[in-house]
A and B are shown apart, each in its own frame.
Chain A
Amino acid sequence: MAARKEKASSIFLLLVGIGYLLYDTRYSLDTLASPGPGVFPLCVGVFLVSLAGWQLIQVSRPAQSVRETGKGRSQEALPGQTKPWLMVLILVLYLLAVSVLGFMVSTFLLVVVSSRLLGEKSWNKPVALAIVLIVSCYYLFETWLKVPLPRGYLL
């Protein structure tokens, strides 16, 4: 289990590194006396690819893989679970909604829905929480600190 995770993450990072290096080819390296914008990303990409490759080789050795068991938090966060991904979906919808409904309405909905997702049984408490949050955010940011909150087309 742990070894498979190590292997999967190494391969993924390896691919990310290769993709990054491929993208970097469009930037010039120029000369050492006047290095171009491609130089540093090249170093970083090579660094990433070689580390990921090294880790992949290490975990692929059969003797090694048994020992490396991921302890700690890994058990509590299983990506196969639906709830976190549901939350991600809610946040995506929220971001789409913000540009239409503006900060106030979308955030109200977000707070109520996410509170329910986190195990809240009633409706009135999250609604109250949402109102308090939005009102205090409005005063704190818009009025006092003069930081504008997102606006939508409709509101």
Chain B
Amino acid sequence: MKILRWNKKGILGGLLILVLILTLAGCGGTGNPGQKAGEGTKKPEEPAKVDFPTKPIEMTVLFGAGSGADLLARKVADIASKDLGQPVTVVNRTGAGGAVGYNYVKGQEANGYSIVWNSNSINTAYHAGNMNFDYTAFRGVVELTTEPVSIAVKADAPWKDINEFIDYAKKNPGKVRIGNSGKGSFTHLAAVALENKTGAKFTHVPFGQGLAVASLLGNKIEATVQLPAEIVAQVKAKEVRILAITGENRLASLPDVPTFKEKGVDLTLSLWRGIAVPKGTPEVVIKRLEQAFKKVADSPDFKAFAKEMGASVEFRGAKDFDQFIAQQDKELSVLMEQIGMKKQ
């Protein structure tokens, strides 16, 4: 009996301490435990016009923590949350070239609290047959960045420039194994487009996080097609050389790397990124989000960061962005058709 009582006290005491610690830890947060967040929080500093946001916004990122998409998204979220007055939390929902995350956000309530850090993947994931809805299930809020795709080889690879590399791949079809970031991904698409434009023939090897670069360094593959952000560390360490990028212009962070255009290959492809919300989100909410993310695009902090990540800032507002996505969808669909990757 006595034992039992001691036990009970012990438990209650322990739990009490736990609650106490947690209460202290949670001090900064919103008050009442019994209340649902959102009901109880008031925001006196905002005028009554748009009562948004009154609770944290969740931003779904379609690619893994530490990926180029993820790094940019976290910076964007950090800057935007200052203007919005509510935290923007990043959640990685990865898989199937973005389809898993799109699926998730599409299924959320269209109230602006669930946004997605989107990209061309909205087009490619649909046409590759990974999901049964296309870009029209979303409304664009802003476009923020654009990134080229880079073709990289080991620093001691025999090819001096991209032209030699392409020649070699033409003469030895299939000999060049080129690692991309997944079947049907944008990088895969870029490599196939390069084959298309030049008549070279590669063996495409789909990889995941970090492993394509490791395989390149370990001489398991001859080249990678990657976003510059994922390989910039190895480039700086002079272990890897980027032969060319698919951008319209050279990158500020890699001024020595030529574009394909300069090298006489007619290949320009860019990966844009921005914010989208499920269709049916109220216009005022989109306006408010647009305004907050416009500030991100304008901030020198973000510009510097994007440069570091091998991206450039490219801003489009909600209207333009929607049109832009629609136009991109047509272009990518044609491209995917050409290379036999289009399933729908």
Q: Is residue B33 within 8 Å, beta carbon to beta carbon, of the partner chain?
A: yes
Q: Which A residue's beta carbon lies closest to that of B32?
A: A138
For B1-39 the 0/1 string (1 means CB < 8 A from A) is 000000000001001001100110110011001101100
Q: Is residue B317 within 8 Å, beta carbon to beta carbon, of the partner chain?
A: no
Docked-complex contact B29 and A143, CB < 8 angstroms: yes
Docked-complex contact B36 and A139, CB < 8 angstroms: no
Docked-complex contact B19 and A135, CB < 8 angstroms: yes
Docked-complex contact A136 and B15, CB < 8 angstroms: yes
Q: Is residue A132 within 8 Å, beta carbon to beta carbon, of the partner chain?
A: yes
**Could you tell me the distance between the alpha carbons of A97 and B260 in the complex, rounded to whole angstroms?**
58
Q: Which B residue's beta carbon lies closest to that of A134?
A: B33
Q: Is residue B94 within 8 Å, beta carbon to beta carbon, of the partner chain?
A: no
CB distance from B128 to the nearest CB of A (A): 13
Question: Which residues from B are CB-within-8-Å of A139?
Answer: 19, 22-23, 25-26, 29, 33
Question: Which residues from B are CB-within-8-Å of A120?
Answer: none
Question: Which residues from A are CB-within-8-Å of B33?
Answer: 135, 138-139
Q: Which of A70-86 contact B (CB under 8 A)?
A: none
**Could you tell me the distance between the alpha carbons of A138 and B19 in the complex, rounded to whole angstroms?**
10
Whether A136 touches B37, Cβ cut-off 8 Å, given contacts A143-B26, A146-B89, is no
Question: Which residues from A are CB-within-8-Å of B56?
Answer: 146
Question: Which residues from B are CB-within-8-Å of A57?
Answer: none
Chain B interface size band reads: 10 to 19
Q: Is residue B64 within 8 Å, beta carbon to beta carbon, of the partner chain?
A: no
CB distance from B247 to the nearest CB of A (A): 29
**Could you tell me the distance between the alpha carbons of A151 and B332 in the complex, rounded to whole angstroms?**
39
Docked-complex contact B19 and A143, CB < 8 angstroms: no
Docked-complex contact B25 and A144, CB < 8 angstroms: yes
Q: Is residue B87 within 8 Å, beta carbon to beta carbon, of the partner chain?
A: yes
**Could you tell me the distance between the alpha carbons of A146 and B12 in the complex, rounded to whole angstroms?**
26
Number of A-B contacts (CB under 8 A): 37
Q: Which of B19, B25, B29, B34 contacts A132 (CB 8 A)?
A: B19
Number of A residues contacting the other chain (C-beta, 8 Å)?
16
Docked-complex contact B22 and A140, CB < 8 angstroms: yes
Whether A136 touches B87, Cβ cut-off 8 Å, given contacts A143-B30, A151-B36, A155-B36, is no
Q: Is residue A142 within 8 Å, beta carbon to beta carbon, of the partner chain?
A: yes
**Could you tell me the distance between the alpha carbons of A9 and B171 in the complex, rounded to whole angstroms?**
57
For A126-155 the 0/1 string (1 means CB < 8 A from B) is 001000100110111011101010010001
Max chain A CB contacts within 10 Å: which of B33, B37, B89? B33
Docked-complex contact B18 and A136, CB < 8 angstroms: yes
**Could you tell me the distance between the alpha carbons of A148 and B25 in the complex, rounded to whole angstroms?**
17
**Could you tell me the distance between the alpha carbons of A144 and B24 in the complex, rounded to whole angstroms?**
10
Q: Which residues of B contact A (CB under 8 A)?
A: 12, 15, 18-19, 22-23, 25-26, 29-30, 33-34, 36-37, 56, 58, 87, 89
Q: Which 5 A-B pairs have the closest CB atoms?
A: A143-B29, A143-B26, A139-B22, A139-B26, A138-B33
**A104-B34, A139-B23, A139-B25 provided; 19 other pairs, C-beta below 8 A?**
A102-B36, A132-B15, A135-B19, A136-B18, A136-B22, A138-B33, A139-B19, A139-B29, A139-B33, A140-B22, A140-B26, A142-B29, A142-B37, A143-B26, A143-B29, A144-B26, A146-B56, A148-B58, A151-B36
